Structure formats: structure tokens, C-alpha cells
Chains A and B, each alone.
Chain A
Amino acid sequence: MTRVLLPLAPDEPGAQPPLLHAPYRSTLKRAPRRPPLRIEQGLSEITGPRFSPAQAGPPVVDLSRVGKGEALGQRIIVTGRLLDGDGRPVPQALIEVWQCNAAGRYLHDADQHDAPLDPHFTGVGQMLTGQDGEYRFLTIKPGAYPWRNTDNAWRPAHIHFSLFGSASATRLITQMYFPGDPLLATDPIFHGVPDEAARNRMISTYDPGLSEAEFALGYRFDIVLRGRGSTPLGM
């Protein structure tokens, strides 16, 4: 065992949300009360799941249609790169995305929002990143929807992202938001991230260069997972 094994770097202060964030009411009964135990990282933390194309299943990168039927809504292209905190691309990593439709309704039994389902939209996509960490989905812009956190509360438009990096300790689930959305100003989930600069890293960038003429608007969203520390593991 002569290889140099590096642990994952600690989070920067303010870059990750606390578990208890009272404005997001669901945290009140679910956030652990005891502070987390700091354990020394080892093989269990610096290794993690990887997915072959067969394990990941067929890529689904076009969410804008089901068969020949086109989903209602504004077509958008969402693309970017998956990187680690050292700026290196993360290739062949599983990205899963899901979202509500243009009317703000999820294809989920428990979603009781009085908005129409779209028979031509499931809102589910997945792919493995390319050699340069790149990914790309064609979808429609999700709608805003009400939720019962407080009276007349509305979630800003967002796409959920699930990401596997190089290690189990880099596992990340996040949400991508859209620039200029007025609902961001008051959203308690978005504002669960204390640091403003960190928060704004969850907002995609409108990029005219990515837009396709007469077809779809382009948004760029790079995702950065934890990088590595500099002190090798003691093993």
C-alpha cells in the first residue's frame, strides 16, 4: 500500500446549509439535534460507487418529448461540466435530473397541486458525464409551484440534480435555479445556504451561445463537488 490516498477537503464555512433552518419548516422535526461526529476518513469515504453504462441504464437526455408527443412549455438546453474542487473534470459519473412540468406539477402521486399533468412530459433524465465531465439535457422550463411551508409560499423554478463523484463523501443532491427568478428572494430552501456567493452558484447562467435558433434557450450550469485535501490518509 504505497499509493498516496488523499481525504476529501473540508467544506468552506457557509457553503453548505445547516441541518436546522427554521424558515424551512420540514427541518424542524427532521434535523438531528446532536452535532455530527467528526470521523477520520478512510477507504470507506474516499471510495464510492461508480456506474458502467450497463449499470446506469440507457441515457435519457431529451425530456422535451415522450415518443412523438412534445411536452408543453419553453424548450431549454441545460448543459455544463461536473468538476471536482480542484477544477478537474469528473468523467463517467452518473447525473440524474428530475423536475416538474411547465405548469408546476410533478409526475408524482403525492403532488396534489391543482395544475395539469402533461402526458408528454415525465421530467426524468439521466446520463453519464463525458470524458471532460460534460453533460447536456434538452427539456422544458419547469414552472413555479405552491407549497405549504408558509401561507402562499411558492418555490422558484428549479431542476433537481443528483450527482456521484469519485468518492462516497462527494455524493451531492442539489437544485439548479434560473437567473432573474423573483421567487429566489424569499425561498427558504435556496436561502438555507448561508453564504451569498455559494448560494448564487446554484443559479444557472443564460448563455445565448448555447441557444439554438428557432428552437431552444441555453442555460449553463457547472457543478463542483468536493476536492481533496493535501494530507494523505494515515494508512
Chain B
Amino acid sequence: MAARPVTPSQTVGPFFHFALERAGWNDLTRGDPRGERIVIEGRVLDGEQAPCDDALLEIWQANAAGRYAHPDDPQPEELLDPGFTGFGRALTDASGRYRFVTIRPGRVPGPGRALQAPHVSLTVFARGLLRGLATRIYFADEPSNADDPVLSSIADPAARRTLLALRQPGPEAIYRFDLVLQGEGETAFFEL
């Protein structure tokens, strides 16, 4: 097959809600998957700490057993959970807030087959972003974060902290994860 040069990225623009908002897509538990129910919610803020009301967030994660619902995951198929696709989409509201309902992901093998800490891959698109920004959501109360190869590769502790979702007080497992696109507290984004 001949190599083909890629199509460039462009902004999602400000006017996409009527097309990309899909009922229920921010709830990954609709298929009644195995695992602990959690909520991940927060705000998207710009360089003036103003809320972004026109951001599109998409997440991709492994199931509770640490397996991705994808044929390239070489782990045993027995680990698949028919009730879990691993994909979610949320749009920010007028105050820049988003919310996902999902399950706590299991640990996924990483380089050298060492297990990574539980994490959720996140991509954000918005007006003013000519391409999507990729990052990861980790859980601040997760002991295995200390061994995670990606977290460990981030030298700056302040940048590392921006990837940690904070458990909120109360009986429910609600995690707060704010995305700061620019400036003070800027989220660490990845080049994949």
C-alpha cells in the first residue's frame, strides 16, 4: 500500500452542539458494566480562567478488568465486558461544566508489561483549538499512581498534579477534574 499524507486537523468551531450532542453518550454505564460506578466532572477554563461553554470532551478507557474493547488489545478476550464500550462524549454547558458517569478502569499493561495506574484518556476539542488536546485523567487516591510510567515521566510535580482527579467528600465516588487550557494551572497535554 502506498503511503498517503494525512488530512490536517481544523477546529470543531463554536457551532457543533446540534450535531455532536448524542443522548446518553456521557454515561458509559448504560450497558450495566462490571465495576465501581464513578462520576468524573469538572470545568473547562481558558487562559483568563473563564469557562469554555463550547468544548467537546471525549474519553476512552479500559473496563474494570483493564481490557480495552478493541481487537488490538492482546489481553485475553475473556476479560471483555459486553456491557462496556469504553467511549464517552460530553459537551460543556453554559458554565463550562461537563460530567461523565463511568466505571473505575482497571490497570492496563504498559511498556515492559508493567501495569499502568488506572486512567482515562481524554481529548478536548473547542473553538480556538485547531486540533484536539490529549491528556489523561488519573485518580488522586490511587496508590499505584506512584508506579505509573507516564506520570513518572512528568518531571514537574505541578504539571503531574494537573492529571489527578480529586475525590469529592461524600458517599458517592465523584471525582473532580478541571481542564485549564492555558496559563496558571495549565493542564499537562500530550503529544501522542
Contacts and interface: CB of A to CB of B under 8 A. Distances in A.
Q: Is the interface of A mostly helix, strand, loop or mixed?
A: loop
A45 B108 CA distance: 12
B57 to A, nearest CB: 12
B18 A124 contact: yes
Interface stretch (B32-40, B95-103, B127-135, B139-147): B127-135
Interface string A31-49: 1111011111111111111
Interface in A127-145: none
A234 B110 CA distance: 8
Residue with the highest number of chain A CB atoms closer than 10 Å, among B4, B20, B130: B130
B133 A32 contact: yes
Contacts of B111: 40, 42, 233-235
Contacts of A34: 159, 186, 188-189
B168 interface: no
Q: Is the interface of B mostly helix, strand, loop or mixed?
A: loop
B12 A30 contact: no
Question: Chain B contact residues (Cβ within 8 angstroms of A): what range?
Answer: 35 or more
Contact of A173 (B12, B109, B136, B187): B12
Interface string B106-132: 001111110010010101011111111
B6 A173 contact: no
Nearest to A233: B111
B165 interface: no
A200 to B, nearest CB: 10
A55 interface: yes
Contacts of B5: 12, 15, 85, 197-198, 201, 224
7 contacts: A1-B109, A50-B69, A57-B22, A85-B6, A98-B19, A166-B72, A202-B8
